[in-house]
Structure 1
Amino acid sequence: MLENLETIDWHQLTHAYGPADDIPVLIRYLTSENTELREAAIYELYGNIWHQGSVYEASAFAIPFLIELLQNEHVQKKEQILILLAYLARGNSWHKKHQNSIFLIDDRDTPEFQEKVKIEQTWVVNARNRVYEGLRLYLNLLADADPKIRIASAYTLACLPDRAPEIIPEMLKCLHREADRQAKASMVLSLGTLVEPESKYLALFTEILHSKTSDLVKLVAAMMLTQLARNKTPQEAIAFLVNTISDSKSVAELYSQLPWADGDVVADVSRYFCYLEAESNQFPLTDLIEALSTVDAYSALTVAETLLYVTFNGKTILADEKMSELTKTQRIVLSAIAQSENTWKYDANMSQILKSFALPMWREKLLALVGGELA
């Protein structure tokens, strides 16, 4: 195992922190029976070959060895390796990702900056192509005895859309015989990501919603229906999302353990209302306003953005005179956001969300707009 690891001149390759000399040691640590060593290694790999969403020169060279580890029966926590591979497949160029940053905006149009983006884009393509090389293995792992590996392999496969015609039939077979509710939910989410909008597979998600399966699986089927069918979403799917937001107890813990979870289940579910017509009378306004204070601070940002998107019809307010024409619902939402301590724990993030709607970026100005004051 890993016989070719030392044949790579890692010192000549770079990752987020410079020369990639540490990569061989970290990859070998993933084979350790020592939990602390493995956890430290996977943490470091996230930091250097996939740093906050960006991939680097060394990333593509590390990927074949990660895939090799998945094939060894003695390697533990393979689900962590699968999820890292998924992230690497979705990686981006650091300079492209940050080109609108205030620190780089003056440089982004220079030839030097564009050359860096060009070089980094080759790293992105190389890393993605290397992850694709493990496709057959990921498909085989959909039938692994460990449900955590089945969950993770479905997640990784969702990041390989170019091979969707090959993935979908295999995943459907596994879905129909899957008994574990979290693994089944992960497969439904993967299928929803890979199939075309308004495709024949919408009937599958509708069938799941009407079946006797778990609430978790029904929830993700409703989410996928909403994402794919949009304004043609069946009312029962929308109702299931609404009910989950008002009472998430039956699914919250199970959902949070999925690699798909970006935050609190209420926040994640709220995003799907952005696919529907803004005037939908089923939008759970009161429940989402309440959620601003009950979800964690990171998830509160998602809820706030959803509330703004729906109540402002996805549009921005571009002129001062339009501020005086705010509807009652818009004022209620803006007041709730301004009053919520939770939404302002990450004040810079909240300000950026408000900026995207051309609304006052700072809490005091938002309060002044709606005529409120801090409690």
Structure 2
Amino acid sequence: MGDDRWDDWPERWVGTDCDVRAAVSAIPREVKDGFRYDEVPWQRFRHFYGPGAEIPGLLATLASGDAEAADEALWQLWTSLHHQGGTIAVGALAVPFLLRIAATARPQLRAQTLRLAAEIGRCQHMGDGSREGLLQVAEEPLMIEGSTMCPVDWTIQAARQAVTDDLHLLLPLLSDPGPEVRSVTAYVLAAATGELSHVSSALQSRLAEEDDAVVRVSLILAIAQLAREHQDEYAPKWARGLWSDPGRPPEVRIGAGLAWLCLVTDPAPDELRALLTDPGTRQYDDLLQPVPWLTWIDPTGVGLRNCIDEMLTANIPDTVLDDHWGGAPSS
């Protein structure tokens, strides 16, 4: 007899106990606010190294006043929920609690906790600095998690809905005293799926008064990511206005140049190419490495450089690249 377990997969799983989106959306606000972990179905899902029932204990330790234990718990959560850049279903159940813990944690812990929440709601993107990939969030529909056989994109959708449900916790963090917190908050907000005009307006308002280079670029890429996914026709003009304005700070022009390249399919204009390949731009490699989108391109400190190279050389014939970079055919 044939094996019919996968007939109509994943459609027949929609809304069932196997659908993490349904599990996350069913968590009442009072359960999240009260950290009532025992009312969340962790046991339905596994993480990369064990049963999901282990996650509440780590979250409780993360929220404790013991700094050393909290740091260790956060490391374990990263290992369990974000293995080799991938995301897994039980992580989406953790997102509402990670956001609440981050809202009151000490600055360094706050930033890293927010970042984990953001990565749970994003496809594997390590090393992808392409025009198509830098701002990409969704996963291929049929990509599955090996331990749960749940579509990865369901986890991403569930985590992003959790972020959207808790915008009231995130938006105030755009004014946090810590630049790293502001930068990562922009990264999390870029995953929102609702109240988009409100979120984009908040990001724009923060950008108008922000003075930190890393945060500025993070805000620009967050605005562009929302615009790209939701097809904001005004966004390319906005980004071009920023990168083409010599009166803007260099990091703003660089960030807007990357954003523009991700928002359109047009070839890079000579003016933009000159900006991004100018020797003076190299001094921003180290400065902008902490920008969340760039950190994953290359963790050694040249994320910006690799991203620029990949974007500017995409779809250009090798013979043209040889001429551009001064190369010569091998004999």
Post-superposition offset of 1:4: 1.1
**Conserved in 2, the CA contact under 8 Å of 1:205 and 1:225?**
yes
Residue 266, structure 1, aligned to residue 266, structure 2: no
**Does the CA-based 8 Å contact 2:242-2:253 persist in structure 1?**
yes
- Residue 83 (structure 2) pairs with residue 51 (structure 1): yes
Q: What are the within-5 Å matches in structure 2 for residues 1-20 of structure 1? A: 3-8=35-40, 10-11=42-43, 13-20=45-52
CA distance in 2, matches of 1:203, 1:193: 15
1:199 to 217, 233, 256: 233
Secondary structure, in 3 states, of the residue corresponding to 1:21? helix
> How far 1:187 moved relative to its partner?
0.6
Shift of 1:30: 2.3
The CA deviation at 1:150 is 1.0
Instruction: Determine the C-alpha separation between the residues in 2 that align with 1:5 and 1:202.
Output: 43
| Letter in structure 1 aligned against 2:73 | A
Find out whether 1:139 has 2:168 as its counterpart. no
Question: What are the within-5 Å matches in structure 2 for residues 1-375 of structure 1?
Answer: 3-8=35-40, 10-11=42-43, 13-32=45-64, 36-72=68-104, 76-91=108-123, 96-97=142-143, 117=149, 122-160=154-192, 163-196=195-228, 199-209=233-243, 210-231=245-266, 233-243=268-278, 246=279, 248-261=281-294, 262-263=297-298, 264=302, 265-274=304-313, 285-286=324-325, 332=329
Higher relative contact order (CA 8 A, sep 6+): 2
Which aligned segments of 4 or more residues in structure 1 are displaced greater than 6 angstroms? 92-95, 279-284
Change over 3 Å in CA distance of 1:34–1:239 after alignment to 2: farther
User: AA paired with 1:158?
Assistant: A
Q: Which runs of 5+ in 1 are unaligned?
A: 100-112, 290-328, 336-370
Q: Tell me how many residue pairs correspond in the alignment.
A: 276
Checking the alignment, whether the CA contact within 8 Å between 1:26 and 1:42 is kept in structure 2 is: yes
| Inter-partner Cα distance in structure 2 for 1:7 and 1:53 | 29
* Distance change (3 Å), C-alpha of 1:123 and 1:208: closer
Give RMSD over aligned pairs. Answer: 3.6
Q: Which amino acid aligns with 1:176?
A: A
State the identity %: 21
Given that 1:69 and 1:75 are in contact with CA atoms closer than 8 Å, whether structure 2 keeps it comes out as: no
Read off the aligned partner of 1:268 and give its amino acid letter. C
Deviation at 1:146, TM superposition (A): 1.7
Q: Which structure has the larger Rg? A: 1
User: What is the Cα deviation at residue 31 of structure 1?
Assistant: 3.1
TM-score, normalised to structure 1, is 0.62
